[in-house]
Amino acid sequence: MLDLLSRATPDSMPPGVNLTLGASYKSCTEINAICTIERTTLGYYPNTGINYFFAIGFGIAGFTALIIGSWKRTWSYMAYLTAGCMLELAGYAARIPLHTNPWNKSAFETQIVAIILAPTLICVSVYLTLKHVCLALNPSLSRVKPRLYPFIFVPADVSCLLLQAIGGGLAASAGQTNFKLLQHGNRVIIAGICLQVVVLLFFGLTAGDYALRMKKWVNSSEGEGTDERERAVEIWGNKRFRLFVYAVSTAYSMILIRCIYRIAEMAGGWGNHIMQDEPSFIVLEGFMILLASLILAFFPPGILFPQMAMTMSKSAAKKAAEKKSATEKASEVKSQGAASSDQDLERGAAGQVVESSTEGKVQ
């Protein structure tokens, strides 16, 4: 083991390994003379108070999103935001026991996976808003059919989620000496976060482009006097709608800042100086996502942008009607088939009677 350490380089070592004393993350289970706090991946005792604060904050955000979303029936928006908040809650709850024992492996893995993946789910709730804004205002101004936006951004966001999950799995499954696998896992996580930044930037450009086109259209005389224009202009100038747009834009900006921070944090490898700086983590990770979640939960579309809830309700009603129609058609076809079978049986029976009568006459 000492020979292995003498030939190793700092970049090739897994988190928690010190080239001088050889204390590895796999062998350390608690703080002692060899397994010191400096050799943990985080390099500090996580602050208990701030982690309780974050856990409670995400619990409030998730519960609020669930209640208002169920009340106003903004199901998809509610589901993704609530799921993201609950995952964040689990992550910060797992950081609490790390204050007592920073070498707690299960707590460390839970918090790193939950806190990395949760913002990806919260992003989906932001992506869903663009479709409904375009449909409520002027769909023709969108460069892409508004109904296609979820099919563009949601799969892209899920791809980010899968990459980060795969990277986390590779890092967690790396053996005590499988340093290359650990490095590959770290690179995959970084790739997932970089892709998330690209998707966020593309979404921002798309939304910004539509906003500029909409503003230009409102200031023009195109379509003047039509019901569609009057309705769109009324929504565009509505204070509640504008408050909703500002809220989503602020939440979007905070999530983007967090993702950029995560790239810098992960780029230096596990246990680098950025990862071991708790104040930057608290501000750029914890507060950015907590404030974004609270904003999305307390400035919901169901109240500030009811057209989104109406569109979702109409879509659900349409699907239910289509399902009911398909069921009725299937029942009708089945009934017709049964009636046809009964008629065939009656005809067959009548034919047999005629045939028997004919045979009797011949005899």
Task: Supply the CATH number for residue 203's domain.
Answer: 1.20.1070
What is the pLDDT averaged over residues 142-155? 95
Does any domain span residue 319? no
Question: For position 363, what pLDDT does the model report?
Answer: 47
Question: For position 360, what pLDDT does the model report?
Answer: 52
Structure tokens at 308: 């989104």
Does any domain span residue 346? no
Does any domain span residue 333? no
How many residues are recorded in the chain?
A: 363
Nearest-CA neighbor of 304 among 247, 248, 242, 240?
240
Structure tokens at 49: 């108070």
Question: For position 20, what pLDDT does the model report?
Answer: 39
What is the pLDDT averaged over residues 138-165? 93
Question: For position 350, what pLDDT does the model report?
Answer: 55
Does any domain span residue 253? yes
The pLDDT tens digits for 85-112 are 999 999 999 999 999 999 998 999 899 8
3-state secondary structure (DSSP) of residue 135: helix
High-pLDDT (> 70) share of the chain, %: 76
pTM: 0.80
Contact indicator for 209, 191 with CB cutoff of 8 Å: no
Does any domain span residue 239? yes
Does any domain span residue 109? yes
Question: For position 164, what pLDDT does the model report?
Answer: 87
Q: Is the pLDDT of residue 172 over 70?
A: no
Does any domain span residue 233? yes
Structure tokens at 201: 């930037």
Domains in the chain, number = 1
Helix/strand/coil percent split, the chain, to 5: 80, 0, 20
- Low-confidence winner among 119-123, 132-136, 168-172, 280-284 (lowest mean pLDDT): 168-172
Does any domain span residue 325? no
Question: For position 28, what pLDDT does the model report?
Answer: 86
Query: Taking phi first (over 0 means left), then psi (-120 to 50 degrees means alpha), and beta for anything else, what does residue 358 get?
Result: alpha
pLDDT band at 4 (very low <50, low <70, confident <90, very high): very low
**Residue partners of 273: CB distance under 8 A and separation at least 6:** none
The pLDDT tens digits for 309-330 are 886 655 554 555 555 566 667 6
The pLDDT tens digits for 235-254 are 999 999 999 999 999 999 99
The pLDDT tens digits for 36-73 are 998 888 999 999 999 999 999 999 999 999 999 999 99
- Residue 109 lies in domain: 6-307
What is the pLDDT averaged over residues 295-321? 78
Measured CA to CA, the distance from residue 186 to residue 266 in angstroms comes to 7
Measured CA to CA, the distance from residue 233 to residue 256 in angstroms comes to 30
Q: What is the mean pLDDT of the chain?
A: 84
Nearest-CA neighbor of 251 among 54, 155, 119?
119
Q: Is the pLDDT of residue 338 over 70?
A: no
